[in-house]
Structure 1
């Protein structure tokens, strides 16, 4: 009888003493960056995906009591674990994340025309789903924002290797900031553990990068941390369009 070994899945990194030693300087630099953004752009918007990177930035914003609005997108396709994190975040930081949802009529019309699994059929259909469920709600959230922030990092993927701290969102004609653009994965997890940041339970199930439920799966140990996002597509198409 042939036996099948279950693959070893990605797991939360173990942080070394050297990596912990880096944390105070990184934290101070992050706090300085966030204070600078808040001073230059009062009521800037932080668009949180609820990923560990975004939870790190949320923790710093809330600790410093900065006038930066924190919003998140409920696409209607999130895992229950992700939805639960919204309530956990509100409870932990005594705040209320601003939740933006897709226009229900548009989401229903898309599924009636193309089906609930259309995202697997072509990159264009997948991106059309992303436009309805993610980009349009984000556009509403950023409607009056002077600037916005993300949790993107250079080392997350090839498509993000050219990130800078400050960019210009030409589509919306506003400033865009990536406060931890130069952090490594270990830096993020060191901060999360040091500050006991609330996290998505899917991280404990082999998901290093978490999006909508149909478009996310666990990854094997040693794979790129975004390999489980839109895994059926080529590496150069693995963005939803939020950051174009």
Structure 2
């Protein structure tokens, strides 16, 4: 059903060299994709950092007005496509991914190599053999995550782009607050996540029209209203797609077992959610699925800032489709 929608007006795409007529009879040629940009000076989603680390923010960019115009165009294009897709009730993950590849030129799967990543990459490989897969290497990942990356690369014969944080930003944070600053306060933990995860992802996604994530509604209270389709204002107005949003943990593991997929070795040691090594532990029976993440913090906002703001609110635009 999603495929059928792609022929509609809402999904018409224009080549970068096409000429379009605008109100008032003016003709305008589409601008080419803007070049990769320097780090934003002030992120709307950033956690207020202690005064002595605020200088880690990068300097303002030149040509900001033109880049904002490009972002607005991407936002409108994504919003039109997603608005049409939102009319489809309960789409299956394969249907969602097929629609994404048919309607966006550059789609990135952002994989943490947890169970959901195994499922998404397997389904997507049947839809689009030449996948673009990104993963964030924070510099603090467990060895088992690196092993999992290699297993997936070998199984599907795909390239996996490993994205690293800015070395100078990491050096400054560690110099000012210590290598394990995340244990000292929630704000410092969020600063660490921002430098090692959020900012690198922001840079990596600038060349894409859409990104795919494994977030599911069942994972936590903060994720309970995760939309399948939305426009990601946080990342330049590109589309954000969560094919497994409505799936349960049981469905994910049923798929893995039925298709004999590789999965992260730490699951066999009692882990239910896996991130950086010092910030993740195994969970006990009855604990929340994400209880092992930043377990020393006394609140339920177990988020790094990529998907949700510090108060636990998601980051879609007002017209997101809550399938």
* TM-score for the superposition, normalised by structure 2: 0.65
| Residue 38 of structure 1, CA deviation | 0.6
Q: After TM superposition, what 4+ stretches of structure 1 lie above 2 angstroms from structure 2?
A: 63-68, 234-237
Matched-pair contact (CA < 8 Å) for 1:38–1:66: no
Q: Which residue is equivalent to 2:159?
A: 96
Equivalent-residue separation in structure 2 for 1:237 and 1:100 (angstroms): 25
Please, what is the CA RMSD of the aligned residues?
1.3
| Residue 42 of structure 1, CA deviation | 2.1
1:128 aligns with 2:191: yes
Q: Which residue is equivalent to 2:135?
A: 72
Report the CA distance shift for 1:196/1:83 in structure 2 as closer, same or farther (over 3 A). same
Q: Which residue is equivalent to 1:203?
A: 267
Q: Deviations over 1:127-146 (max 9, x none)?
A: 11011110111012101211
Q: Which residue is equivalent to 1:153?
A: 216
Report 1 or 2 for greater relative contact order, CA contacts < 8 Å, sequence distance ≥ 6. Answer: 1
Matched-pair contact (CA < 8 Å) for 2:131–2:158: no
1:169 aligns with 2:257: no
Matched-pair contact (CA < 8 Å) for 2:125–2:131: no
Matched-pair contact (CA < 8 Å) for 1:35–1:66: no
Structure 2 residue runs without a partner (length 5+): 1-90, 309-323
Larger radius of gyration: 2
Equivalent-residue separation in structure 2 for 1:41 and 1:197 (angstroms): 27
| Residue 66 of structure 1, CA deviation | 4.9
Matched-pair contact (CA < 8 Å) for 2:97–2:127: no
Q: Aligned with 1:236: secondary structure? A: coil
Structure 1 residue runs without a partner (length 5+): 1-27
* TM-score for the superposition, normalised by structure 1: 0.86
Q: Aligned with 1:176: secondary structure? A: strand
Q: Aligned with 2:263: secondary structure? A: coil
Matched-pair contact (CA < 8 Å) for 1:154–1:161: yes
Equivalent-residue separation in structure 2 for 1:208 and 1:87 (angstroms): 21
Matched-pair contact (CA < 8 Å) for 2:130–2:158: no
| Residue 211 of structure 1, CA deviation | 0.3
